[in-house]
Structure 1
Amino acid sequence: MMTIQSIRSVQPLEAVLVANASRARLFDRDAENGAMRETASFVHPQSRMKGRELGRDRPGQAFKGESRTAYEAPTGPHEKEAAAFARELAQRLGVMAQTRRYSRLVLLASTPFLGELKKELDSHTSRLLQATVAVDLTTFDGAELEHRVAEALQETGVAMPMAAD
């Protein structure tokens, strides 16, 4: 006779994305004790490039009457790269949500990248969003990261346990 395991014990149900405009780390988080396990890491080196390395052309010129002025695009090259990275991450999270890899999502990202990322989430993934916190924790690891994630979530009013030391 075959026994059926609980899906809850097989699949991690909480995903935590810690990100900024050039780096992101995805974790499975144990909802019972707060322990986190890194499952993926993403790097977007274009976001760290200098503006002149991203944009090959000089600003265009606009003419108004007899005067001239240099035209700057309303969205700079760094903002475009951040938006592209946010779109890439949102697509990855969307695929994971569709395959039921997790049932709750927590986003901790730098400002204004958090807003860009939230804007790119599809409706299904957005419904799984448990909390968002504007903070950059990409440089922390291990127990320090777990502690800071739990602390940030407590400040938002989301009751989630801290990992045991």
Structure 2
Amino acid sequence: MLLLNKNIPLLNSLWLSISKTNLQFLMTNKFYGGSARNWSTLDSVEIVQDGEKFAKFNVSVMSAPVEYSFHCQLVGTSNLYPARLIPSNNEAKNWDVFISRLQIQGFNVENNRFSYASDCTGFFTPGIWMGLVISVVLLWILAYGIHMITQLTTNSRFDDPKGPALSVPQTE
């Protein structure tokens, strides 16, 4: 995890660490009728320094069924991360937050272990999309090839390949 306050200068290109800084994760547990189950949602993340709230970030799309934990490989304030922390006060705009391999479960924790993880990555990752697109292209090529093969015509057994073409008059 990396917390960087943009207003504090860096010393000799090293990250300045603050010893009494904590992150608080505020979660809710809510029942949704559409899925007929409770969902836990991470609503906000607060940076608490020396016992007082310092910066607050709203969280986009971090929810999981209450029986599961939530996992995300990259979480932070940058637009490049799948789960984003959005500054909600002026002090939060001064902070860059980067959390790698975040796994959180606020409810129904048993034996101090995470349950099955609901991941922030969608089902259709870039690799799956590429596989699907290539499969569709190859199926189209196969269908076109089969269509072309079925349109082939063979010579009749009565045709002489060296003789003139067979002509059948259509009028009487």
Q: Which has the higher contact order (CA 8 A, sep 6+)?
A: 1
TM-score bracket for this pair, using the shorter chain length:
under 0.3
Specify the structure having the higher radius of gyration (Cα).
2
Name the one with the larger helix percent: 1
- Normalized per residue, the structure richer in strand is 2
If the length of structure 2 is used for normalisation, what is the TM-score?
0.20
In the superposition, the TM-score normalised over structure 1's length comes to 0.20
